[in-house]
Structure 1
């Protein structure tokens, strides 16, 4: 785990160079240099908007039938017009997550040899420089254990710490008050998350908080709403905030004050110690080495990013440890952004927010057509199951809200959600059917309940959470599916293949978005029905429901291969109006699903490969961060390490800011600038794990897609389905040893695979099984 630091020799002059910290609720991006420092502070529940009921039509089922009749008759234009009339609600106070405030520090000092770094081993940001031969240091971290952001500022020489601390709100409704009492400087603040792009400017979450400064030696004063420290030996800064999200009464207004009082009484060193221990109990579970990066490992990260693409052959093998660092950075961001007690899961920008999405038609919300899902793709395999819990809780709440959408828009039982949701449980179709009528968006995010169960095999979680939520989703689709008059298959619709479009016949100028039986819908519904059936059998429950599922599964459409050898994105072999489109939703069955596998469905694998090659071969491919991550993981599933590595290299080398945050390019989906989107970090992390270990389709597959650039390395602590931890070591491109540790009670039967070798093992709880490079038990 050596070198797991993001190191820089230049100041961070803007947000995309700053270094992120977080405690699962509060986030901060730390910018600055010798003379200044800025913390851009965020809080995951600080949302504009409010809960609002959006009603569907009283004739929803009859209207749905009319739409379907039009599509089945080939009148797509009429079908889309009818959908717009019934399934296109107006946008109201949907809201967005907003930045909270900026904490600024101004230092009247000069210096040299500036350095800053984010230490992934401790989750602490360090700044340092030299002045008059003496070292000056600053550090800051976000403590989950104590619910605060804490910082220390000190120098080798007593009496040399002086600064001015201020606080500026990021919304118009924000006020501050500075006081000094008992030698402690405090800036209290109150704010409301208001804006007028995604709401009417009058509604949003309220916040209360404070920043406290405690100095050793020197003086502490206040002036014009700031705290001034002069000639201290060292100073400590503590920041806390609370909001009224999900709260009743006024107790929440006291919460941040209590946290700060406790922190000061506890003392900085103990807070720091507890923070590291709390963080490392998660982070330290996995270690990864991908080879020697030579001299590049000593360079600043921004230089290594540029060298990756500009001079890839500077040293033999390039910079393999940069990929290992990117992987651990993704795990770090997961821990920082999503903890077991987080009130909300990570949104489009994790828990960090530069404000760019808030001022555009974009929203810093929950996109359910890949983005929010991808935020959690690496969580289970990365041995961070606890970090998955906020998403589980959120999906259960979304299911509650989705009952009204199922009934109001479709006249169906169960629950449904579509392409977007927010902190208030929005479940209705989006406000344009062209992209907003993704009827399986809620189902896709709910598949994470299945993933969480399959990795952990917690039967209580299955019985109390996963199965009830997914059973209701299945109830919706059992009611919603309709028989295709030509094929006799049960199909969804009208719906879209997220954000994509097609044309009929030979005229590419007349495009459509809606159809019946889009491929992704059918993949998700099949997975849903099969999981609910197996769960009901495991729990010995709902026997009549089981029969309905068996009957319906037999009537679902098969996956189809088009005339050009590609996996069809729609039920029919339509023309692709946007063959360079960023979404690859119809490859869900390859990744993250497992309906398409090299050993089980080789013809479909080749069709999926054709689809990937077609997209990659387009000069105008929308090379968005999540697209590159999906392509990399998909090639890993095809056991194509060379192409998986190529996509990851491009993701890191071309679609990362200096701070290794991934971004979506200006012009993509209306983005006005290169805009940070967290999913690329998490998707890239998941793709690296897929290259090294896969556990789906009933197998644990070791080194399934190892690229030649990572010819020697080792990984410890990856997690496989079945509650199994796996260590792997390899040299010269070949496996040398792998170990499996079982944590589930009883005996688990598994098939371990490496290349063309397989071995059957019966794993018993608490035992470790070591295999050599030929999968022989040691």
Structure 2
């Protein structure tokens, strides 16, 4: 291995590349804060490693690097490594479900009908906890390992320090000088070859390194032999521990390499050191065992392949792979780069430069933490340092895991959606046991608030928590089809959609006025009648979010069954139920009601605004088609205010975009990027939640383009006359809006592609390339002085759409495969 001669040229090329595209690069003039040695238990607080180190990932395997001068700290994660749960039980037990008799379930429902509020022993919450809530452990996501590379360098002696991460290539780098010597590092996490790779180089100097590997898990062994460190461990479970293994291979042919009894390896007199790391758990996403991967064999295979190919080949494959996906979509706002490091850019209070970088970084994070893995990104994406992480670092189904995937399709990263699909298919398998054993429903599946990687679908341990989530998970599934128009994918997910709908067909029950409502339920995670019954009074019936999502689910199932030409009888059942669903209502303050009764408090600024799901991520409230509901949504948004947690701020960006208020959306996005961002741009929700990053990027897409409305009247010249409307005003009550039964022709109705629906005045000039629209289209746009200047819409599948631009609706536009439509009107091959 003789790379020393080309090192200078490589460094110059890398530096030139970074400087030419610094609007895509996170950069710093100091190392991350590394609290590994001073804090080893519990959660990290304040600005620690997880908030300042820089992330790498290939969807399953992840790493963060600190850029420490005397010690480089690599945090390693595997998305499948969990602990403190159970696996390998029988099919029913593995779901975590509570086995409930029909009499007990009816006892719970009776407390709802009788209005037993609060937390007394006979209350809705207490009875739900007593009879429905699971007593099985959920567990938590766990860290994998820590790899430390000690350099012996004195931080006080260095100059020209630089640490960076290029969001276009997934390459991390560190460089500094000591005396006449220049020291550089480069890091990446390869998807093609499933390894973490690091390279340490020295120019006019030599490297003396010590490499150690450890894990926070108690059951572990570390051994060094030759130029390898092998770590084997177990993540402790309540039943059936998860085994894992890691190999660190060191390639330093021009140096002295020695292994030691304590499991460390030392390298001395080196100019060029390459470190390859592979790690796997024994997890397989097969219900109910979740065990069986040949993790040892996979470790050996990955390391052998990586070392055989060598650093340069691995790097080229990695860069080609990442850049091909990242470069599909780009945002170019009009600004002059400041030259500030990223942490200083955040501290400066917001700028177009930061907003542009944040969007590209979110796409990089999405690609890094969700891709070809058996489970989706969790509350922290992929990166976690704690054995007891906040909120278990789990899957919250009352918005968080869904928000993780809102930006995937519009931002042109459809490959990142596959882990969500695979996980939801497991939930559908497990959830049929929860549906039957807890709720007495023999058709379909059910899932509660918290999920793990072991098929947990049971009710949360607290009765006030979310009771159902299948309808919201199904919404993500069908929306992915809307973007891709992949008929094979629709065939795959149809049983999951149908199963979610089948559950609600039987779960819905009549309320006081005879309409069908979901109960038990809640409106995540809000309280009502607080003065009378306390802040934990959350259990409810017919919450608006449930009713909106059930309509959305039934409509999607009708469309899917029509397209696939199956289940006509079930389709008719759904069509018959829809008019019986509890309607949406406008309350005494002019707000969209959160519950069937008018209980909204205008002073309530709760972070969840779940009763606006029909606005976003749904498609059934729009300023263009449902004026009264739009106005009511505006009142609700004004009541809730702008500032909140990171993920809530991301959602509000989407809400205001759908309300076509670009300036309000931008103000919130600016707040998110500057006041809700850590120095490494991770979302500020102590210690960290990644959904804010993804929700904010989704909001950018919504500001620039929307495609959720459908044209059901090809002859209509206005969007009000053309678009399908899911709620219509009741003839007997102007403040009540009843669900509409979709005609089966909706299945083939073209989507309306709306360009620049919420362009903020702060972005007067710019361009975007590669946004995805529903219907299978891809869109490029350029705008100047706040007006659309040009646009191109293309398709690789062929299809029909209508264009809404500059307040004008086009007729149907048909594109054949490979054709492009240019605005102003022109079709090109």
TM above 0.5: yes
Q: Hey, what does 2:234 align to over in structure 1?
A: 192
1:343 and 1:250, CA in 2 relative to 1: closer, same or farther beyond 3 A?
closer
Is 1:47 matched with 2:76? no
Q: Hey, what does 1:426 align to over in structure 2?
A: 456
Rounded to whole Å, the distance in 2 between the matches of 1:510 and 1:4 is: 44
Structure-to-structure mapping, 1:255-334, within 5 angstroms = 255-292=298-335, 294-296=336-338, 298-309=339-350, 319-334=351-366
1:496 and 1:577, CA in 2 relative to 1: closer, same or farther beyond 3 A?
farther
Rounded to whole Å, the distance in 1 between the matches of 2:368 and 2:258 is: 33
Partner of 1:554: helix, strand, or coil? Answer: helix
Q: How many Å apart are 1:58 and its aligned residue?
A: 6.0
Partner of 1:146: helix, strand, or coil? Answer: coil
Rounded to whole Å, the distance in 2 between the matches of 1:213 and 1:514 is: 56
Rounded to whole Å, the distance in 2 between the matches of 1:542 and 1:233 is: 67
Specify every segment of 5 or more residues in structure 1 that has no aligned partner in the other structure, as ranges. Answer: 310-318, 665-673
Structure-to-structure mapping, 1:376-775, within 5 angstroms = 376-412=405-441, 413-435=443-465, 437-439=466-468, 441-463=469-491, 465-484=492-511, 486-503=512-529, 507=532, 509=534, 512-576=537-601, 579-616=604-641, 623-664=644-685, 674-698=686-710, 699-745=752-798, 748-760=799-811, 761-772=813-824
Q: Hey, what does 1:316 align to over in structure 2?
A: none
1:88 and 1:134, CA in 2 relative to 1: closer, same or farther beyond 3 A?
same
2:797/2:817 contact within 8 Å kept: yes
Q: Hey, what does 2:369 align to over in structure 1?
A: 337
Rounded to whole Å, the distance in 2 between the matches of 1:6 and 1:490 is: 51
Partner of 2:79: helix, strand, or coil? Answer: strand
Rounded to whole Å, the distance in 2 between the matches of 1:212 and 1:277 is: 24
Q: How many Å apart are 1:765 and its aligned residue?
A: 1.6
Rounded to whole Å, the distance in 2 between the matches of 1:32 and 1:233 is: 18
Q: How many Å apart are 1:655 and its aligned residue?
A: 1.2
Rounded to whole Å, the distance in 2 between the matches of 1:438 and 1:577 is: 26
Q: Hey, what does 2:393 align to over in structure 1?
A: 364
1:216/1:233 contact within 8 Å kept: no
Rounded to whole Å, the distance in 2 between the matches of 1:474 and 1:141 is: 43
Per-residue CA deviation, residues 450-469 of structure 1 (Å, 9 max, x unaligned), is 01111011111112x22111
1:501/1:578 contact within 8 Å kept: no
Rounded to whole Å, the distance in 2 between the matches of 1:142 and 1:678 is: 19
Rounded to whole Å, the distance in 2 between the matches of 1:190 and 1:446 is: 38
1:577 and 1:3, CA in 2 relative to 1: closer, same or farther beyond 3 A?
closer
2:193/2:302 contact within 8 Å kept: yes
Q: Hey, what does 2:63 align to over in structure 1?
A: 28
Q: Hey, what does 1:314 align to over in structure 2?
A: none
Rounded to whole Å, the distance in 2 between the matches of 1:696 and 1:497 is: 24
Q: TM-score, normalised by structure 1?
A: 0.91
Rounded to whole Å, the distance in 2 between the matches of 1:148 and 1:345 is: 19
Q: Hey, what does 2:720 align to over in structure 1?
A: none
Q: Hey, what does 2:170 align to over in structure 1?
A: 123
Q: Hey, what does 1:670 align to over in structure 2?
A: none
Partner of 1:710: helix, strand, or coil? Answer: coil
- Over aligned residues, Cα RMSD in angstroms? 1.9
1:13/1:32 contact within 8 Å kept: no
Per-residue CA deviation, residues 603-656 of structure 1 (Å, 9 max, x unaligned), is 111111111111117xxx6x1111100111100000101111111111111111
Q: How many Å apart are 1:186 and its aligned residue?
A: 1.0
Q: Hey, what does 1:3 align to over in structure 2?
A: 23
Q: Hey, what does 2:378 align to over in structure 1?
A: 347
Q: How many Å apart are 1:66 and its aligned residue?
A: 3.3
Rounded to whole Å, the distance in 2 between the matches of 1:137 and 1:726 is: 40
Rounded to whole Å, the distance in 2 between the matches of 1:396 and 1:430 is: 20
For residue 263 of structure 2, the aligned residue among 213, 225, 237 is: 225
Q: How many Å apart are 1:156 and its aligned residue?
A: 2.1
1:365 and 1:648, CA in 2 relative to 1: closer, same or farther beyond 3 A?
same
Q: TM-score, normalised by structure 2?
A: 0.85
Rounded to whole Å, the distance in 2 between the matches of 1:410 and 1:277 is: 50
Partner of 1:278: helix, strand, or coil? Answer: helix
Rounded to whole Å, the distance in 2 between the matches of 1:575 and 1:695 is: 31
2:245/2:296 contact within 8 Å kept: yes
2:25/2:167 contact within 8 Å kept: yes
Q: How many Å apart are 1:510 and its aligned residue?
A: 7.4
2:23/2:356 contact within 8 Å kept: no
Q: How many Å apart are 1:253 and its aligned residue?
A: 1.6
Specify every segment of 5 or more residues in structure 2 that has no aligned partner in the other structure, as ranges. Answer: 1-20, 35-48, 285-289, 711-751
Rounded to whole Å, the distance in 1 between the matches of 2:464 and 2:578 is: 28
